[in-house]
Chain A
């Protein structure tokens, strides 16, 4: 049987950008400190990036749905398709949230301008 190393290279999990401390209850000390990729503001995504992610996901889904139509899917592939669709839903929902926050940003900008104009009129009156 295999004689390869038993564990994942420690460097693989040492992704220090993110300040996440995870303590195993076992010892009360930080046994797995600073594990994790950067995830601050994860939904604050540039439109081009969001589009690219969704395009890659759609491509994956299209490949699987085409295969389902032509030759059928194995149980593993069917599970992959279901999970891909769930992941897509999550990103599309994020897109709606993002669009909604754009609308709010525009409303806020308009409101700010209205307040600014009112203040200006008030100053001119005085």
Chain B
């Protein structure tokens, strides 16, 4: 089987960490009501906990969490993070204002797990090895033996912030009945390129909804370019 032409995002998640968010314990309920009002009936709030409160949108597979230390929006099994890009800034606007944390941000990151389906985990491993995006030194092989599987992770830093990238094979098992519209989307075996982008800046820093939206989009554009390069290498042996 050839490497899948199209990728699917196992997850697209944006997360903001902040300090001085303990007022969450006082305002958690009112924030939830504001979020339900702002995001519409697709989002339903659950009973809040001390650590976090959560709204879920089962139809779009989105989970939104906020708490005294962090806020996140995660969406699973989509082709692009365009909905996260729309929802997260709206939610952050309400949360940051209600908790007074817009200027207390210590980290803002976005993660994309890009998956390409393959026939088997063995094929995933063969492709990762053959792509030679990285390779082990002879000393490694002499010391530990020839690798059967490989997972590569690197972290780099630039003006645009920090990026952690990893490449690995993945086996996904759904323990239940998969929704009809997802049968063609979720690959049981895949090669996964996971990209974690974080904003530059000395914490604490300010983060407003427009900045968040731009950050998600610019990171996604970088991710798509990276995915194109990596896929070409993974498919290099195909006729």
A positions within 8 Å CB-CB of B: 1-9, 11-13, 15, 17-26, 35-45, 48-50, 52-53, 55-57, 60, 75-77, 79-80, 83-84, 86-87, 94
Contacts and interface: CB of A to CB of B under 8 A. Distances in A.
Interface of B: 10-11, 13, 15, 17, 39-42, 51-52, 56, 58-63, 65, 69-70, 72, 74-80, 82-83, 85-86, 106-107, 109, 111, 121, 124-125, 149-151, 155, 157, 161-162, 164, 168-182, 196, 198, 200-203, 214, 217-218, 221
Nearest to A12: B72
- Chain B CB within 10 A, most for which of A7, A18, A80: A80
Contacts of B75: 37
A98 to B, nearest CB: 11
Contacts of A87: 78-80, 82-83
Contacts, number: 177
A2 B58 contact: no
The 4 A-B pairs with the shortest beta carbon distances in the complex, nearest first, are A25-B169, A19-B175, A4-B107, A52-B40
Nearest to B175: A19
Given A13-B13, A26-B151, A55-B40, A1 B59 contact: no
B82 A76 contact: no
A8 B60 CA distance: 22
Given A4-B106, A35-B11, A84-B82, A76 B111 contact: no
A9 B58 contact: no
A6 B77 CA distance: 24
Nearest to A87: B82
A42 B179 contact: yes
Nearest to A5: B107
A52 B38 CA distance: 11
